[in-house]
Amino acid sequence: MPKLDPVTLAVLKGRLEQIADEMDATLFRSAFNPIIAEAHDASHGIYDAVSGATLIQGKSGLPIFVGVMSFAVKAVIDKVAVDGGLEDGDVYIFNDPYDGGTHLSDFKLVQPVFRGGEVYCYLASVGHWHDVGGNVPGNYNPAATESFQEGMLIPPVKLFEAGELRQDIVDIVQANSRLPGSLYGDLNGQINALGLGTRRLSKLLDEYGDATVKQALAELQESAARLMAANIGELPDGSYSAEDWLDNDGIVDEPLRIALEMTIRGGRMTLDFSESSPACAGPVNIARSTAVASIYVALKHLFTDVPANAGVLEPIEIVIPDGTLLAVSAPKPVGGYTETILRVIDVMFQAMAEAAPERTNGCAYGTINALSLAGHRAEGQRWVMFSFFGGGHGGHPEGDGLNHGNAPISTATIPPVEILEAAYPVMFTQWALRSGSGGPGRHRGGLGGLYEIELLEDEADVFLFGERGKYPPMGVVGGAPGALNKFAYEQADGRHEPPMKSKMVGIKLERGKRLRLETPGGGGYGEAMERDPQAVARDVRLGYVGRDAAARDYGVVLDAAGAVDAAATKKLRGGGGK
């Protein structure tokens, strides 16, 4: 069959992406849970009928789900191969992190699309539910030593059979949540998103024909693989290594190594993580599918022109031995997967800085700082505030890093302060940029955030699952690291910090007491002494950098009015710089 003409292919690509985007929007507008409705911690896509490979992904959901959901769809395909009985109108539901990736909070719905009595493709929806049981409200339990302590685990089961809802499955998942109403709303939002996707895709297939659309999907995947191979072919052959560290696993206060050996040869890339730490007791382990998904996200950051589908990984060989913390199986805890995949992305950036510094950037702040507050209102109603927080992104070849952005695993947004204060008995007494937190460099790392939260109810239990309390976000190409993560809380006897710096369970907070979170800035890009002195002066005026830091880190001296003292600056820089 001859290739589609470029116009038709472009139109079909846009129409297919629009379907996934509409599914995203449907869930975001109907979810009860702010983590989906406001932060957009969800995703939708179209997947291959045989392999489960990603064909089309929505642009508004989380990129980390692009790779993960292909494993989730394959889990359903394998389940059907064993059980049989797949019918039009069936929908599977599950949250098994070892089959479908990520953690127990992410519930996946997978639905076949039939054409002429055969499965044409699958549609899938994933969303982060507010609470799915376990020891810790919100499910980020830094003290978990097995997945049973993190929440309920549902294997792939039919939620719908031939279009008929199985209420018993709904009853089971609702009974295992502290917030069954929120869960019910999110579930129905995902169901409706799949329904919309089915209608939109069926209309497109009727309009263009099944064979034409299938050919377009195949050509888009071939294009991604070809373009990725071409990009790799432009890199210098060789081996490039990087390592970074997790503070601890929440159980044993010892660092955990994430190590990468990147080999480029003849248009192919090998990513070998064999030297990473072995599986640990605490919940910073991840399944292999999750590791692969994080690698995919890193590649998309480094090669931005490659289309988002499974073809991205075709020229890539990934080596992740069993036994490392990047390839665990049940019941190893995986609730804090976000922290580990961020470190996988960080070592990808650092290794690429050796091979092609013009493509990479300093490491971002490297932790979502999952914070959970839970208690009961005066009338007895249960409340659970789960949220994540922003930080600085790394400096890059074209400029400074983003201030107070979200983690590079996603295109999610940080839940707005107005929504959090309206939904929960808390008041944010500070929500600001953290001065001096960006890593110095020719292009400075972005600033982290400063959050202070006061409790308005009588008491609450607080849980923190973070990282970068001991090992800061690294700079590249001579750039310096960003600031460390800091967390503190008030009690009757004064101010305290977690013994493990970034993780703690069972903090008791009383009315009027506050939590304080200072998130890391991003790593710098390039030598700080090469930064334009006028840019440093501007940073000082804006409060991003202090006067002392301007002189110490950048070699820039300012006069009393804040203007650059050119002579003193040249002398301090040893006659070099600008």
Mean pLDDT of 75-93: 97
Mean pLDDT of 417-444: 97
Q: What is the pLDDT of residue 7?
A: 96
Beta bridge partners of 546: none
Mean pLDDT of 67-78: 93
pLDDT band at 105 (very low <50, low <70, confident <90, very high): very high
pLDDT tens readout for residues 441-494 = 999 999 999 999 999 999 999 999 999 999 999 999 999 999 999 999 999 999
Please state at what angle helix 288-302 crosses helix 64-83, rounded to 10 degrees.
140
Six token digits for residue 429: 């007494």
Q: Which residue has the higher pLDDT, 411 or 164?
A: 164
Q: How far apart are CA 130 and CA 200, in angstroms?
A: 29
pLDDT tens readout for residues 269-316 = 999 999 999 999 999 999 999 999 999 999 999 998 888 888 999 999
Residue 228 near residue 303 (C-beta atoms within 8 A): yes
pLDDT band at 160 (very low <50, low <70, confident <90, very high): very high
Q: What is the pLDDT of residue 544?
A: 98
pLDDT > 70? residue 576? no
Q: How far apart are CA 183 and CA 255, in angstroms?
A: 36
Lowest mean pLDDT among 15-24, 64-73, 138-147, 216-225: 64-73
Q: What is the pLDDT of residue 464?
A: 97
Q: How far apart are CA 424 and CA 427, in angstroms?
A: 9
User: To 10 degrees, the CA torsion angle through 463, 466, 470, 471?
Assistant: 180
Six token digits for residue 399: 């400029």
Average pLDDT score, the chain:
95
Mean pLDDT of 497-515: 96
Q: What is the pLDDT of residue 61?
A: 75
**E strand residue ranges, 234-315:** 238-246, 256-265, 268-272
Percent of the chain with pLDDT over 90: 92
pLDDT band at 409 (very low <50, low <70, confident <90, very high): confident
Q: What is the pLDDT of residue 203?
A: 98
pLDDT band at 562 (very low <50, low <70, confident <90, very high): very high
Count of other CB atoms within 10 angstroms of residue 495:
11
Residue 545 near residue 533 (C-beta atoms within 8 A): no
Residue spans per domain, the chain: 6-224, 361-525, 533-572
Q: How far apart are CA 344 and CA 348, in angstroms?
A: 6
Q: What is the pLDDT of residue 575?
A: 67
Mean pLDDT of 508-524: 98
Mean pLDDT of 108-130: 97
pLDDT band at 101 (very low <50, low <70, confident <90, very high): confident
Q: What's 458-525 look like in SS3?
A: CEEEEEEECCCCCCCCCCECCCCCCCCCEEEEEECCEEECCCCCCEEEEEEEECCCEEEEECCCCCCE
